[in-house]
With several copies, the nearest count.
Chain A
Amino acid sequence: MDLYMENIIDHGQHPRNFGEPLDPADIDYEDENPFCGDYLHLTAQLDEEGRIKAVSWQGQGCTISQASASMLGEAIIGKTLDELREFNRQTILDMLGIPLSPTRLKCALLSLKVLKGGIYGLSDWPTDEGEE
């Protein structure tokens, strides 16, 4: 039961900010996890101070990847891009609060990968580290 704590199941079954892509969007990025086919498309809008004011995402995948996207979507609202650049693997792990094997870690980090891709563009992705 540890692995599927109540709030992960809850986010997985009732994802927050799930819906059609925002248009226009300041952040708009999609990607997938090739080994399992999990897919995520994330859009967000900034307010005039450069803080995230709205988030919408769609995706398909396991409870871990969906819950991670749902939690991350909530967590980024009100943050500046500079603050989002600080988000890392540990941010996600702390949010989920469960131990993850390397394979499931990829599920969990897909949301972060898409967020960072939306901020930096994937080719400018700063390190290998963050991707995996």
Chain B
Amino acid sequence: MTEPITYPLDIAAIRADFPILDQEVHPGKRLVFLDSAASSQKPRQVIEAMRRYYERDHANVHRGIHALSERATAAYEGAREKVRAFINARSVREIIFTRNATESINLVAQSWGRANLRPGDVVVLSEMEHHSNIVPWQILAEQIGFRLRYIPITDDGLLDLDAYAALLRDEPVKLVSVMHVSNVLGTVNPVREMAAQAHAAGALFMVDGAQSVPHLSVDVQALDMDFLAFSGHKMAGPTGIGVLYGKRALLEVMPPFLGGGEMIKKVTLEGSTWNDLPHKFEAGTPAIAQAVGLGAAVDYLSALGMDNILAHEKIVVDYALDRLSEIPGLKVYGPGPEHRNGVAAFTLQDVHAHDIAQLLDAEGVAVRAGHHCAMPLHKRLGVVATARASFYVYNMRDEVDALVEAIYNARRVFRLGG
């Protein structure tokens, strides 16, 4: 059971900000939400910001002269500035709003990749990547004929950095694209060092920040990232919006991704010229209200402080690793606490992860089960599926206790003993 603990943040106040947490999901079973790596919950500050926007300020942006359109444009571009500050980009021109991290990565593949990759070139990914950072490159590689190479992982769930160095040394690598934090193993990859190595080898360095930007302070200049992709919905923001950061010099010369309104300077029947950054990459009416919501999420996280969020999560995750390790037959994947953030994926003897998830759900405990969009990683781990508990700033050690108790219950149902 939980000993008294002082969290760095006022956890009761935070939980009160998230209306969804306060519910029973089955009769008598209160929600214990441990699925934030799939998508986080939203504080009322974010929900309200969007409601207010729709109730007072909505109109289409950029081309309007009337008051609502001016307000909507200011709100939309204001959100861009908030995101810029949050990741410390140099200019708002480097912040492109997309639908999600997946689209951000596809944008780089289709625009930068199609323009720059040639047969024989190499793009380096890793064995632990999310499908979103594998499939876009596979699709393009098939069309263009460049090669994909994968950084293998060690048995304790870290990237094999010797193999990475060898790839950079031996192959004509044009781009390295890796995740910052693994959504399955929780591994925090050393992206600063990896970026320096990539640059020394003449390659660009792109980071899938879907699981890092929500949880820790990411500074694109300090880490010297060329591209960074992340999603609003995993960082207390709404669904339907993601971000691509790119260094201005790269974005300036990249061809457009999608064509349409907003992204053009001039259209004639014979051809078109492109708008300035960031608009060149934002075709059609953007996700205005969602940008507003993301801006509010950034405000919310910033007010808590990313370092506090990280410290809070560490307390909860470390406790989870401790308590899970005491359950017979349970195996947690990934590195030890010093290299880990936010998630704990596990198997329980030969019980299928779906069965675990369903039995936990019956107790109100929400975890995810499956391959977590990382089939190659699961193949490497030698399992088809894992169950994954993931944590955010609103989770508490009591919820870890509920998880552990529900797992013991599953053991009993599957006749594995109490």
A touches B (Cβ under 8 A): yes
**A-to-B contact residues, CB < 8 Å:** 1, 3-4, 9, 12-13, 32, 34-38, 60-64, 101-104, 107, 128
- Those of B349-402 within 8 Å (CB) of chain A: 351-355, 358-359, 362, 369-371, 375, 384-385
Q: How far is the CA of A63 from the CA of B359 in the complex (A)?
A: 12
CA distance A107 to B353 in the complex (A): 13
Can you identify 13 A-B contacts, CB atoms within 8 angstroms? A4-B355, A4-B359, A4-B413, A13-B415, A34-B264, A34-B275, A37-B370, A38-B354, A62-B352, A62-B353, A62-B358, A102-B74, A103-B62
How extensive is the interface on chain B, given as a class?
Answer: 35 or more
- Is A128 touching B266 in the complex (CB atoms < 8 A)? no
| B265→A36 contact, CB < 8 A | no
CB pair A36–B92 under 8 Å, yes or no, is no
A12 to B359, CA, bound (A): 15
User: CA–CA, A63 to B356, complex, Å?
Assistant: 10
- B91 close to chain A: CB less than 8 A: yes
Taking a contact as CB atoms under 8 Å apart, the answer to whether B358 and A104 are in contact is yes
Q: Which listed residue (A35, A62, A103) contacts B355, Cβ 8 A?
A: A62
Q: Is the CB of A9 within 8 A of B415?
A: yes
Interface 0/1 of B259-277, CB less than 8 Å to A:
0000011100000000110
- Option from A3, A9, A12 in Cβ contact (under 8 Å) with B362: A3
Report the separation of the CA atoms of residues A34 and B275 in the bound assembly, to the nearest whole angstrom.
Answer: 7
Task: Please tell me which one of the listed residues A3, A13, A103 contacts residue B64 in the complex, with CB atoms under 8 A apart.
Answer: A103
Q: Which residues of A contact B359 (CB under 8 A)?
A: 3-4
What residues of B have a CB within 8 angstroms of the CB of A13 in the complex? 415
Chain A residue at smallest Cβ distance from B71: A101
Interface residues of B (CB under 8 A from A): 62-65, 67, 69-70, 73-74, 91-93, 264-266, 275-276, 279, 351-355, 358-359, 362, 369-371, 375, 384-385, 413-415
Chain B residues whose CB sits within 8 angstroms of the CB of A62 once the complex forms:
352-355, 358
The answer to whether B265 and A32 touch across the interface, beta carbons within 8 angstroms, is yes
Q: Are A37 and B371 within 8 A (Cβ)?
A: yes
B384: A residues at CB distance < 8 A: 37, 60
- Given A36-B354, A37-B385, A107-B354, also A9-B413 (CB < 8 A): yes
State whether B70 touches A103 (Cβ < 8 A): yes
Q: Report the bound CA distance from A76 to B276 in whole Å.
A: 28
Chain A residues near B362 (CB-CB < 8 A) = 3
Give the Cβ gap from B380 to chain A, nearest Cβ, in Å.
15
In the bound complex, CA of A4 to CA of B411 (Å): 12
Known interface pairs A1-B413, A3-B362, A34-B275; A64-B354 also in contact (CB < 8 Å): yes
In the complex, chain B residues whose CB is within 8 Å of the CB of A35? 62-63, 370
If A3-B359, A34-B264 touch, whether A9 touches B414 (CB-CB below 8 Å) is yes
Closest-CB distance, B54 to chain A (whole angstroms): 21
A63–B352 touching, CB < 8 Å:
yes
A101 to B64, CA, bound (A): 11
Smallest distance from the beta carbon of A39 to chain B beta carbons, Å? 9
> Chain A residues near B74 (CB, 8 Å)?
102
In the docked arrangement, what's the CA distance between A62 and B352, Å?
A: 5
Minimum distance in angstroms from A49 CB to a CB of chain B: 36
Tell me, rounded to whole Å, the shortest Cβ–Cβ distance linking B367 to chain A.
14
Complex Cα gap A34–B276 (Å) = 8
